[in-house]
């Protein structure tokens, strides 16, 4: 399968396709990838690369999906540490003691929408099917992070909270951060009602006219990627260090899981990031 993207490259290894940001691939000290809906062993509505263990899929099949993905994209299966997302803004610092949590070990927390680490022995994992993934890398202190920014996480400024926590934990300076936003449902497909739109227009210090667009019938189109980009810039990340995905999950639902495109009958994708030894 071919895609047209100026920011991401689709690779396939051993029958498992995955996406990588061109800008992050330049950071040789880390590994990162974003899964697709293809290349796994799941069946039915989860066919075939589903990485969620909490949606009713066969757990043995999901673990096999992880093994296949890790082998293809170059991650150690035993190093995985997953989030426990509920659309909030808690940022967890991950170390070797957390290896396996959310994958081969039970979740120990019920609200973790962002993960950060400077430990090369772990791989961070977060989940998506239209919501916005945020990737973070600090090449100076060799620290990385992932965040799940749905609309609630976006208006909660989870990206800003990750930048602050990277600084508090590892001494990261915002201006050193390399960041990427997406793939997610894009402004072409993300329609919301007035109460939701008002959360975005209420964001202080941002130009909401660039990410909230009125349309007929009292509806609005919202650009989650641009909103998160502005939040990162407001937090001190350099504009030139932020890459936005140009792949809409809804428009590319043959490759990517989209909650809207499938009307909720779907599997889940994951973002992965780790530090090379």
Per-residue pLDDT of 83-134, as tens digits, reads 999 999 999 999 999 999 999 999 999 999 999 999 999 999 999 999 999 9
105 DSSP β-pair partners: 101
* pLDDT at res. 138: 98
Q: Which of 222, 259, 225 is CA-nearest to residue 245?
A: 225
Sorting pLDDT into bands at 50, 70 and 90, what band is 223? very high
Please provide the average confidence, as pLDDT, over all residues in the chain: 97
Measured from the Cβ of residue 86, the count of other Cβ atoms closer than 10 Å reads 14
**In-domain check, residue 195:** no
- Domain of residue 33: give its range: 8-185+224-275
User: Sheet harboring 269-275: ordered strands across?
Assistant: 8-13, 16-21, 30-35, 269-275, 123-128, 80-82
* pLDDT at res. 190: 98
Whether the pLDDT of residue 157 is over 80: the answer is yes
Sorting pLDDT into bands at 50, 70 and 90, what band is 277? confident
Domains in the chain, number? 1
Q: Which residues contact 113 (CB under 8 A, 6 or more apart)?
A: 83, 85, 86, 87, 88, 89, 90, 91, 126, 147, 148, 149, 153, 158
pLDDT above 90 coverage of the chain, percent: 99
Query: What is the average per-residue pLDDT within 50-68?
Result: 98
Helix, strand, or coil (residue 160): helix
Please report, for the domain that includes residue 13, its CATH number: 3.60.140.10
Whether the pLDDT of residue 1 is over 80: the answer is no
pTM over 0.95: yes
* pLDDT at res. 3: 87
Distance of alpha carbon 74 from alpha carbon 274, whole angstroms: 10
Strand 91-93 vs strand 80-82: parallel, antiparallel, or unpaired?
unpaired
Q: Compute the C-alpha angle 155/98/225, nearest 5°.
A: 25
**In-domain check, residue 269:** yes
**In-domain check, residue 169:** yes
Whether the pLDDT of residue 2 is over 80: the answer is no
**In-domain check, residue 171:** yes
């Amino acid at each position: 399968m071919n895609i047209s993207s100026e920011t991401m490259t689709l690779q396939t290894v051993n029958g498992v396709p995955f996406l990588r940001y061109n800008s992050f691939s330049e950071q040789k000290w880390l590994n990162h990838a974003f899964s697709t809906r293809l290349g796994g062993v799941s069946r039915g509505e989860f066919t075939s690369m589903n990485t969620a263990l909490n949606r009713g899929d066969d757990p043995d099949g999901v673990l096999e999906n992880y093994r296949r993905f890790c082998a293809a994209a170059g991650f150690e299966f035993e190093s995985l540490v997953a989030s426990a997302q509920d659309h909030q803004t808690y940022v967890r610092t991950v170390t070797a003691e957390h290896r396996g949590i959310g994958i081969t070990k039970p979740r120990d927390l019920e609200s973790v929408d962002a993960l950060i680490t400077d430990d090369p022995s772990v791989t961070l994992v977060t989940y998506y099917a239209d919501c916005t993934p945020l990737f973070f890398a600090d090449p100076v202190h060799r620290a990385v992070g992932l965040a799940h920014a749905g609309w609630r996480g976006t208006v909660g400024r989870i990206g800003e909270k990750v930048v602050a926590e990277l600084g508090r934990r590892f001494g990261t300076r915002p201006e050193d951060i390399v960041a990427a936003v997406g793939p997610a449902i894009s402004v072409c497909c993300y329609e919301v009602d007035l109460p939701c739109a008002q959360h975005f227009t209420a964001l202080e210090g941002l130009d909401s006219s660039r990410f909230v667009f009125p349309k007929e019938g009292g509806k609005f189109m919202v650009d989650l990627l641009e909103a998160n980009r502005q939040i990162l810039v407001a937090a001190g990340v350099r504009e030139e260090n932020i890459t936005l995905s140009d792949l809409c999950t809804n428009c590319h639902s043959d490759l990517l899981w989209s909650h809207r495109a499938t009307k909720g009958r779907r599997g889940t994708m994951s973002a992965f990031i780790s530090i090379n030894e």
